[in-house]
Amino acid sequence: MDYCLDTSVYVQAHRLYYAFDIAPPFWKALGRLAQDGIIISPIAVYKELMEGKDELKEWAKEHRNTLFVDPDSGVSDAYTQVADYSNNHYHDQHWIRKFLDGADPWVVAQAKSDNLTVITMEGEKKREDKDRTSGRIIGEIKIPNMCNHFGIKAMSIYDLLRALKIQLG
């Protein structure tokens, strides 16, 4: 495996860019990449997708065994490092809790543990301002920024499609 996909990739593709009825080759490509062991997502992403009541939920169920992985001890250790970094370097408990309660830290941990590139549709915060008193980073925790902190490469689904030379037409 080479790439770890975040929930935003599936959700935005389904809702905005590659809906099942207009871009079936996109979803077939993801299924093929999962079968070939090129892409994965943590089980936490699967759990987020199961909260929906739409075609995406059904697609995720069909690909549960080939695409979504349970954490092993290496991923659990990496998750602890991501959680510790969040708690020690970010200022706002609301944003820390929001980040740690979702699949995002598991995506970063999976990539860190298995030396994967993260695929996300989240934008990077170009500047991370710090609180003057605590010296901690202010605001929302974004996957690309967390990846930067751990030396993990992150890119969009478009970059992935180009890198793997996948054509949807």
What confidence tier does 113 reach under pLDDT thresholds 50, 70, 90? very high
CB-based burial label for 119 (10 Å; 0-12, 13-18, 19+): buried
Span 47-57, average pLDDT: 95
Give me the residue spans of the domains in the chain: 3-69+156-163, 73-153
Prediction pTM value: 0.94
Q: What is the pLDDT of residues 15-45, one digit of tens each?
A: 998 999 999 999 999 999 999 999 999 999 9
- Cα 130 from Cα 134, distance rounded (Å): 8
Output the CA torsion sign for 156, 68, 95, 128.
Answer: negative
